[in-house]
């Protein structure tokens, strides 16, 4: 970032150098809040600052700016974090001049929000200036307003109270700041998408937003004023963005047989078992067609769930076909993340045979695309908590299918030891 100092949250941030390395030191200094709210309780603000450090210091550095040092006991509490290369507001301005949308950056933000929400935290102040580029990834920062699960929080009192940023704040935060859910962050993400599509700050606050172009439907669903009508989780936003990047059905128009197949089954929403069975039969016939493989990028978690509930046998047939397709197809980073999430769901819904195929496919995709998000998900699914029977099957399949190198590479690429895998898998990999 160009500035050597700026204000953020309840403090001031200054660039410092320690042993030749640049850091950002944030010092508790809530002058702006005091000016806007003369009656504000200074002790509560200080407690918020301390909580900010407590939360941020425990979050994984893959997704969040880490805290390297702190002193919370002195008269002027402070903490240090790496000096970021830029913030996302600067990124939006740069990309606007080039007339591009960097979807990989957006998927970084989504991955961070997914991790935060998985821990049942809500950021409550998501905006471009609180998203920082560090070590080649976009990460979340500034957790001064984070909503800790089951914690006490302060009621939002007025438009200018400083509890959040109006242009990015969900309407419900004006009513009850302490009772918002993860959908408040989804509203804020929709506002960021609006910045990308229409320009920074080109809107009135607390409204349902839209734009011209491909992002319109996603922005509208993210920013519905009724929180219950928004995407229910950030993973669904990822799936929708992925479909914007790969408008699959539009590509399939050169072959009459393929076009008919897509017209009949393209939405993959089946009402009868017979329809599902026909889909699988026809899909298998056209398995070598590139466009049919591309069609599968439109699969989402909702369609997977619906298939699994319609017929177990046909679903397992499709799931095995899907895993084989993953193993033999190249994807963009965002698509990798979406597919990894779908493979994880398949693991939750199927038997050991399909589960193992899903994990093998995930290892090949993670290794082949060098996608850290996929690798981390694989290692979490194959950790000590993994079912012993599934671990044994995966270990056998690793040897049978010659994919030891993929599992080892997935661990090494994210600086993890292969001993982090389930012991039955580790024993195969270490030999």
Range 370-374, long-range pairs (CB < 8 A, 24+ positions):
370/413, 371/333, 371/336, 371/337, 371/340, 372/62, 372/413, 372/414, 373/107, 373/111, 373/333, 373/336, 373/337, 373/340, 374/336, 374/337, 374/340, 374/410
Cβ of 161: how many Cβ atoms within 10 Å?
16
**Per residue in 275-297, pLDDT tens?**
899 889 888 877 665 667 667 88
Residue 431, SS3 per DSSP: coil
Distance CA 196, CA 139 (A): 18
Q: Tell me, what's the pLDDT at 294?
A: 66
Cβ of 314: how many Cβ atoms within 10 Å?
21
- In order, the DSSP letters of 322-341 are HHHHHHT----HHHHHHHHH
The encoded tokens of residue 287 equal 């398995």
- Please state, in angstroms and as integers, the Cα–Cα distance from residue 371 to each residue in 31, 132, 239, 380, 409, following that order: 42, 20, 17, 15, 11
Task: Provide the edge-to-edge strand list for the sheet that holds 137-140.
Answer: 86-87, 131-134, 137-140
Alpha-helical (H) ranges within 57-170 are 88-98, 103-118
The encoded tokens of residue 36 equal 């806007």
Look at residues 75, 65, 59 and name the one whose alpha carbon lies nearest to residue 8: 65
User: Do residues 356 and 381 touch, judged by C-beta distance below 8 A?
Assistant: no
**pLDDT per position in the chain (431 positions), as tens?**
556 767 666 788 999 999 999 999 999 987 766 666 667 778 888 888 888 888 898 899 889 999 999 999 988 899 999 999 899 999 999 999 999 999 999 999 999 999 999 999 999 999 999 999 999 999 999 887 887 665 444 433 333 344 568 899 999 988 876 778 999 999 999 999 999 999 998 899 999 999 998 899 999 999 999 999 999 999 999 999 988 886 544 444 445 555 666 666 666 778 899 989 988 988 887 766 566 766 788 788 888 999 999 999 999 999 999 999 999 888 888 889 999 999 999 999 999 999 999 999 999 999 999 999 999 999 999 999 999 999 999 999 999 999 999 999 999 999 999 999 999 999 999 98
Distance CA 53, CA 71 (A): 10
> Which stretch of DSSP H or E encloses residue 17?
strand 11-18
End-to-end distance of the chain based on CA atoms, in angstroms? Answer: 47
Place of tokens 């590509």: 251
**Per residue in 6-21, pLDDT tens?**
766 678 899 999 999 9
User: Do residues 314 and 280 touch, judged by C-beta distance below 8 A?
Assistant: yes
User: Do residues 207 and 170 touch, judged by C-beta distance below 8 A?
Assistant: no
- Beta bridge partner(s), residue 138: 133
Distance CA 31, CA 83 (A): 23
- Beta bridge partner(s), residue 7: 12
């Amino acid at each position: 970032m160009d500035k050597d100092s700026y204000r953020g949250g309840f403090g001031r941030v200054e660039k410092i150098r320690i042993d030749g390395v640049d850091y950002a030191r944030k010092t508790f200094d809530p002058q702006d809040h005091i000016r806007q709210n003369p009656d504000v309780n200074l002790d509560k603000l200080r407690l918020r600052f301390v909580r900010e450090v407590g939360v941020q210091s425990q979050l994984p550095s893959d997704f969040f700016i880490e805290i390297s040092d702190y002193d919370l006991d002195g008269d002027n509490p402070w903490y240090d974090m790496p000096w970021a290369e830029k913030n996302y507001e600067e990124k939006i301005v740069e990309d606007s001049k080039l007339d591009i949308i960097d979807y990989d950056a957006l998927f970084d933000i989504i991955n961070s929000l997914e991790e935060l929400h998985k821990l049942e935290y809500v950021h409550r102040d998501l905006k471009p200036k609180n998203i920082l580029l560090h070590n080649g990834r976009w990460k979340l920062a500034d957790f001064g307003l984070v909503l800790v699960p089951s914690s006490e929080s302060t009621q939002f009192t007025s438009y200018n109270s400083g509890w959040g940023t109006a242009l990015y704040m969900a309407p419900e935060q004006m009513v009850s700041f302490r009772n918002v859910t993860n959908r408040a962050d989804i509203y804020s993400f929709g506002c960021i998408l609006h910045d990308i599509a229409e320009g920074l700050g080109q809107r009135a606050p607390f409204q349902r937003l839209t734009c011209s172009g491909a992002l319109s439907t996603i922005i509208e669903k993210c920013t519905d004023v009724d929180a219950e009508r928004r995407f229910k989780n950030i993973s669904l936003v990822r799936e929708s963005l992925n479909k914007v990047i790969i408008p699959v059905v539009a590509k399939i128009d050169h072959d009459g047989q393929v076009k008919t197949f897509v017209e009949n089954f393209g939405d993959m929403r089946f009402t009868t078992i017979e329809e599902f069975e026909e889909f699988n039969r026809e899909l298998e016939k056209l398995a070598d067609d590139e466009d049919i493989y591309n069609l599968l990028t439109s699969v989402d978690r909702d369609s997977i769930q619906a298939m699994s509930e319609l017929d177990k046998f046909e679903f397992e047939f499709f799931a095995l076909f899907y895993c084989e397709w993953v193993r033999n197809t190249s994807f963009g980073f965002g698509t990798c993340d979406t597919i990894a999430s779908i493979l994880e769901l398949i693991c939750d819904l199927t038997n050991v045979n399909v589960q193992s195929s899903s994990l093998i496919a995930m290892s090949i995709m993670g290794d082949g695309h060098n996608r850290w998000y996929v690798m981390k998900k694989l290692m979490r699914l194959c950790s000590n908590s993994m079912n012993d029977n599934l671990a044994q099957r995966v270990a056998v399949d690793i040897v049978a299918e010659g994919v030891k190198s993929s599992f080892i590479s997935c661990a090494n690429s994210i600086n993890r030891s292969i001993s982090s895998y389930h012991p039955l898998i580790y024993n195969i990999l270490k030999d």
